Amino acid sequence: MALEFLNDLGEKAQAVAAVAADKAKDAVELAKINMAIAGEQREMDKNYRTIGEWYVSEYSGEVPAAVKDLVDTVLASKAKIAELEASKPVREEPAEKVQTAEKTCPICGAVSDSKFCPHCGAPMGE
């Protein structure tokens, strides 16, 4: 009786595990498909943007009325970006690091500003 119960329990556990494994495979496959779709959409958006940039630069004086407002908005945004770029504070380069005094190696006589001699490896001292 107890053995039969344990066998039934084991079979049910295996069935549940099989269903869970199938669902996990389905979820992984769905995630892969969704990622592929998102990648294609990004590529398509990039290509549309390239087409639009080409069109505006190629036909800037001949823009149809249907897209004139959009082109004007894009050109205004470009001008604003240029204005903002120009208004960025100029970052000054940091002052040169104070150079440490060069020392003479007590062993070989080489001169260096490092802690150890670059020629013989001896400590340079103070």
| pLDDT (tens digit per residue) in 46-61 | 999 999 888 888 877 7
Q: Is residue 56 part of a domain?
A: yes
Predicted confidence (pLDDT) per residue in 55-111, tens digit: 888 877 788 888 888 888 988 999 999 999 999 888 776 655 555 678 888 887 888
Distances (CA, A) of 33 to 15, 26, 36, 39, 45: 27, 11, 5, 10, 18
Range of the domain at 10: 2-89
Q: Is residue 124 part of a domain?
A: no
Q: Is residue 121 part of a domain?
A: no
Q: Is residue 24 part of a domain?
A: yes
Number of domains in the chain: 1
**How many whole angstroms separate alpha carbon 60 and alpha carbon 74?**
12
Q: Is residue 117 part of a domain?
A: no
Q: What is the pTM of this model?
A: 0.46
